[in-house]
């Protein structure tokens, strides 16, 4: 029996980014005793890195904006694969979530007449992103943290204890969701600094762990994004939805090598930045796909006029959705028209005065000056695609954020699937976090309250198994002591290279099949991932544990990408380049195959891993038809481009 501390809560929120904090606030306000747990320091999450803004159709800059236009843009951006009810709720509720932030103390940039300012972004018909310079995520997190502190102060006044109803466990990692039968019963956790294990018992767990970018070599994501929540859900029995859709942001830094992949915000293009190839050509005009032809400018002159007169002109193609721009950059580089370090040029220096650039894009100015010695007010940046965001995620109920098939499990934010379809529009993540974070917190609290004392119990055997799994890297040599343990850093690098090269921005059948073979091999080796030393201050051990998650999630991405024989949004198949209407209604669901549910050590003489079978079962599921009143928001000619034949008849 493993001796450890056990605490009881009503709701445990895993993740302290925008989704996690918004969920925690809502759960606590609904009366639930709520614990928040996060891998890094409180306040350090991807949300804090978000630059451009929060998409919400407040209509402050162009009064023609409204939720219906936002819904249309989101569905177009996702190529109609979005879980349409989520897209509807998101578009309807985003403005309230932004105004609410303001009442909690957020200070957004203003328009001349004092309203919250909104900027242009790719795929959004009107200026829609509420922003704070290019540091919007920082303000969002600061505001949510401030709200949490104010709730804790309220609790202190009532009970004498700041943490009576809302407590944050920072620098702690969850490695397993614990269950009682089908139901959630809590989370198994360890403190990163001391290595101490503990259990948070709770009938409801909200997963808000963000993305998976660290499975790819070139990425804008930071160290925590190893797909933990995706893997925790799979291991708890919940399916993942449409994992083939990974967003490669068109503009990451490409030079110097130590910073390759770091994000260059889309606000640069939103504020007038243009993309050019080595011949000086504004190449995006050559890459406007048929489905978007009517909405984008045909000449540089028209595109430039749009910044002054958006109602009388069409927008420049630099503001196409991200998947289109990333593919175009990739094609230019491949055709030999790239910049010296394998990207293309992004220029604002010829478009805005230096002091305006420094004011509107302060982080970008400092990022390039300090990391690349480039002054963006005087010269062009070199940029190229970088793995940025995962549209696939935990399959959830649109209204309640409940994960499919596991009572008590909820998911919100980047870890949840469905909202963005095959491609997310910039700015739609921050609003997604607020809208569905709130919903997840509310429904998790209601679920816990409705149990009326019928609480799940955490069995000792589950705790023992979770502890043994977490300790395995310290005895990785056994049961074959002659074979040296594998180095987790080497395995991680090989995994990242595999995903980058074989399941990256442009995909081919043979390469993805090869990726699955390599992943199978890495999986076997990862069971021998070993570390030296103690549980205290041991990042190698943490990585060895994270490898389980990255391997699971990478297999989901590769297997789904192999299955979907079309190109759509963040999934581009060189061997199946067209978007196929029959695939519009097909969702791909990944589940853990039973036989691999335990990650035990390799038995001596065990047969080699079967790359075809792997650890994931894949199934197709037909999506629910889009509600007629929502379809009526589109012109028929447009629907013909997307919907399957039978849907059009319906
Ligand atoms: P995150 O903010 O990623 O937080 C995840 C949390 O989960 C963290 O606290 C982490 O420590 C914790 N966690 C993870 N695993 C575990 C575990 N096993 N145990 C415990 N805790 C765990 N979107 C926009 O809409 N607009 C933008 O302008 C924008 N700019 C961006 C710029 C950059 C550089 C990046 C990387 C992303 C940007 N995005 C933007 C995307 C957006 O920031 C993210 O999608 C979003 O912040 C994700 O929020 P989240 O709450 O889901 O998760």
In whole angstroms, give the CA distance from residue 461 to residue 227. Answer: 26
Report pLDDT for 477: 62
Q: Assign 3-state DSSP to the chain and report helix, strand, coil percentages, each to 5.
A: 40, 15, 40
Q: Quote the pLDDT of residue 649.
A: 74
Q: What is the pLDDT of residue 576?
A: 95
Interatomic CA distance for residues 23 and 179, integer angstroms: 21
Element containing residue 274 per DSSP (H, E): strand 274-276
Q: Yes or no: say if 13 and 178 are a contact pair by the CB < 8 Å rule.
A: no
- pLDDT tens-digit readout, 471-523: 999 997 655 667 789 999 999 999 999 999 999 999 999 999 999 999 999 99
The pLDDT of residue 612: 67
For residues 335-352, average pLDDT? 94
pTM of the model: 0.93
210 CA distance to ligand 1 middle (Å): 5
In terms of Cβ atoms closer than 10 Å to its own Cβ (0-12, 13-18, 19+), residue 517 is middle
pLDDT in tens, 164-214: 999 999 999 999 999 999 999 999 999 999 999 999 999 999 999 999 999
- Beta strand 11-14 with 381-390 is unpaired
Which atom of ligand 1 is nearest to 52's Cα?
28
Lowest average pLDDT, out of 292-296, 369-373, 438-442, 475-479, goes to: 475-479
The set of protein residues with a Cβ atom below 6 angstroms from ligand 1 is: 14-20, 37-40, 45-47, 49-53, 136-137, 173-174, 208-210, 220-221, 224, 228, 263, 389, 413-415, 426-430, 433
Nearest alpha carbon, ligand 1 atom 14: 209
pLDDT at 571: 97
pLDDT surpassing 70 at residue 123:
yes
pLDDT at residue 231 tops 60: yes
Angle at 145 between CA 144 and CA 147, to 5 degrees: 65
pLDDT digits (tens, 9 = 90+) for 245-282: 999 999 999 999 989 999 999 889 988 999 999 999 99
pLDDT band at 601 (very low <50, low <70, confident <90, very high): very low
15-71, pLDDT tens digit by residue?
A: 999 999 999 999 999 999 999 999 999 989 999 999 889 999 999 999 999 999 999
Place of tokens 């600061």: 142
Helical axes 136-159 vs 84-103, angle rounded to 10°:
70
Alpha-carbon gap, residue 290 to 641, rounded angstroms:
9
Q: What was the pLDDT predicted at 479?
A: 56
What Cα–Cα distance (Å) separates residue 386 from each residue in 334, 343, 362? 16, 11, 21
Query: Residue 646 pLDDT more than 80?
Result: no
Sequence-distant (6+) residues with CB within 8 A of 129 are 52, 53, 54, 55, 118, 119, 120, 121, 136, 267, 270, 426, 427
How far from 297 is each of 273, 280, 310, 628, CA to CA, in Å? Answer: 15, 19, 11, 31
Is 125 in a helix, a strand, or coil?
coil
Q: In the chain, what percentage of residues exceed pLDDT 90? A: 87
**pLDDT at 154 > cutoff 70:** yes
- Verify whether residue 249 is a known catalytic residue: yes
| Alpha-carbon gap, residue 149 to 24, rounded angstroms | 12
**E strands in 181-236:** 183-191, 197-201, 204-207
Q: So what's the pLDDT on residue 235?
A: 97
Residue with CA at minimum distance from ligand 1 atom 21:
38
d(CA 129, CA 113): 17
Confidence class of residue 598 from pLDDT cuts 50, 70 and 90?
A: very low
The one catalytic residue in 46, 249, 548, 559 is 249
Contacts 24+ apart (CB under 8 A), 459-463: 459/180, 460/1, 460/2, 462/176, 462/178, 462/179, 462/185, 462/188, 463/2, 463/4, 463/178, 463/188, 463/199
359-385: average pLDDT? 94
What CA–CA distance (Å, rounded) separates 123 from 366?
Answer: 27
What average pLDDT is seen over the chain? 93
The whole-number average pLDDT for the span 556-576 is: 96
pLDDT over threshold 90, residue 131: yes
Tell me what pLDDT residue 453 has. 81
Q: What is the DSSP letter of 169?
A: E
> Which pLDDT score, from 0 to 100, does residue 595 have?
44
What pLDDT, on the 0 to 100 scale, is given for residue 271? 86
Q: What is the pLDDT of residue 2?
A: 75
Catalytic, out of 269, 360, 584, 585: 269
Cα–Cα distance, 136 to 108 (Å, whole number): 8
Residue 513, token pair as written in the block: 């099949």
Average pLDDT of span 593-608: 52
Rounded distance between C-alpha atoms, residue 48 and residue 19, angstroms: 12
Query: In whole angstroms, what is the distance from residue 351 CA to residue 275 CA?
Result: 12
Residue among 14, 15, 70 whose CB has most ligand 1 atoms within 8 A, to mutate: 15
Average pLDDT, integer, range 423-445: 97
Instruction: At 262, list the tokens.
Output: 């770091």
CA–CA separation, 299 and 276 (whole Å): 14
**ipTM confidence:** 0.99
pLDDT of 291 reads 85
Left, alpha or beta for 506 (phi > 0: left; psi -120 to 50: alpha)? beta
Bridge pairing between strands 197-201 and 183-191? antiparallel
> How far is the C-alpha of 150 from the C-alpha of 489, rounded, in Å?
41
Active site residue 507: no
Choose one of 14, 16, 17, 140 to mutate for the ligand 1 pocket test, by most ligand atoms within 8 angstroms of C-beta. Answer: 17
pLDDT digits (tens, 9 = 90+) for 400-420: 999 999 999 999 999 999 999
How far from chain centre, in Å, is Cα 409?
18
The residue whose CA has the least distance to atom 26 of ligand 1 is 427
What string of H, E and C letters represents the secondary structure of 342-380? CCEEEECCCCCCHHHHHHHCHHHHHHHHHHHCCCCCCCC
């Amino acid at each position: 029996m493993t001796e450890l501390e056990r605490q009881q809560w009503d709701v445990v929120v895993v993740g302290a980014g925008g989704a996690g904090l918004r969920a925690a606030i809502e759960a606590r306000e609904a009366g639930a005793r709520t614990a928040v747990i996060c891998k890094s320091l409180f306040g350090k999450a991807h949300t804090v890195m978000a630059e451009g803004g929060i998409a919400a159709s407040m209509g402050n800059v162009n009064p023609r904006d409204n939720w219906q236009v936002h819904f249309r843009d989101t569905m177009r951006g996702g190529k109609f694969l979005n879980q349409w009810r989520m897209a509807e709720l998101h578009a309807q509720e985003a403005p309230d979530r932004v105004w609410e932030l303001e009442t909690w103390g957020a200070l957004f940039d203003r328009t001349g007449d004092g309203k919250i300012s909104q900027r242009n972004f790719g795929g959004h018909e009107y200026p829609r992103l509420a922003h704070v310079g290019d540091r919007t995520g920082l303000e969002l997190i600061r505001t949510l943290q401030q709200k949490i502190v104010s709730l804790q102060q309220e609790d202190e006044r009532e009970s004498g204890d700041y943490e009576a109803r809302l407590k944050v466990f920072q620098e702690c990692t969850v490695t397993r969701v614990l269950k009682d039968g089908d139901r959630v019963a809590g989370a198994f956790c360890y403190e990163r600094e001391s290595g101490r294990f503990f259990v948070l018992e709770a009938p409801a767990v909200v997963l808000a762990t963000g993305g998976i970018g660290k499975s790819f070599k070139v990425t804008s994501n930071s160290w925590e994004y190893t797909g933990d929540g995706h893997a925790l859900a799979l291991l708890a029995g919940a399916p993942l939805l449409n994992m083939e859709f990974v967003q490669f942001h068109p503009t990451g830094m490409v030079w110097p090598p130590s910073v390759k992949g770091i994000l260059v915000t889309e606000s640069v293009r939103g504020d007038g930045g243009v993309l050019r190839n080595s011949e000086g050509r504004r190449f995006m005009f050559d890459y406007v796909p048929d489905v978007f032809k009517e909405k984008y400018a045909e000449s540089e002159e028209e595109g430039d006029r749009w910044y002054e007169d958006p109602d009388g002109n069409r927008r420049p193609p630099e503001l196409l959705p991200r998947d289109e721009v990333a593919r175009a950059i990739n094609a230019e580089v491949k055709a030999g028209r790239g910049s010296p370090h394998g990207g293309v040029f992004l220029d604002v220096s010829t478009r805005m005065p230096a002091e305006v650039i420094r004011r509107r894009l302060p982080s970008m100015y400092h990022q390039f000056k300090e990391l690349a010695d480039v002054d963006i007010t005087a010269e062009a940046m070199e940029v190229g695609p970088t793995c940025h965001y995962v549209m696939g995620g935990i399959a959830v109920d649109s209204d309640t954020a409940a994960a499919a098939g596991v009572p008590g499990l909820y998911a919100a934010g980047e870890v949840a699937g469905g909202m963005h379809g095959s491609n997310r529009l910039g700015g739609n993540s921050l609003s997604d976090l607020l809208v569905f974070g709130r919903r997840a917190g509310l429904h998790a609290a209601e679920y816990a309250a409705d149990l009326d004392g019928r609480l799940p119990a955490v069995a000792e055997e589950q705790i023992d198994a979770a502890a043994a799994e977490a300790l395995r890297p310290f005895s990785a040599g056994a049961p074959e002591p002659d074979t040296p343990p594998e180095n987790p850093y080497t395995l991680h690098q090989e995994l990242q290279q595999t995903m980058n090269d074989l399941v990256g921005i442009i995909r081919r059948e043979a390469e993805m099949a090869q990726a699955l073979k390599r992943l199978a091999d890495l999986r076997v080796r990862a069971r021998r991932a070993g570390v030296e030393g103690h549980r205290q201050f041991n990042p190698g051990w943490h990585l060895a544990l994270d490898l389980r998650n990255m391997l699971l999630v990478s297999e989901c991405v590769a297997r789904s990408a192999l299955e979907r024989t079309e190109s759509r949004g963040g999934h581009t198949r060189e061997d199946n380049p067209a978007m196929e209407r029959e695939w519009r209604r097909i969702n791909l669901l990944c589940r853990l195959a039973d036989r691999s549910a335990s990650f035990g050590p390799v038995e001596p003489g065990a047969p080699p891993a079967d790359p075809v079978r792997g650890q994931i079962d894949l199934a197709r599921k037909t999506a629910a038809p889009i509600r007629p009143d929502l379809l009526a928001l589109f012109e028929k000619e447009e629907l013909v481009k997307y919907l399957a034949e039978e849907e059009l008849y319906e």
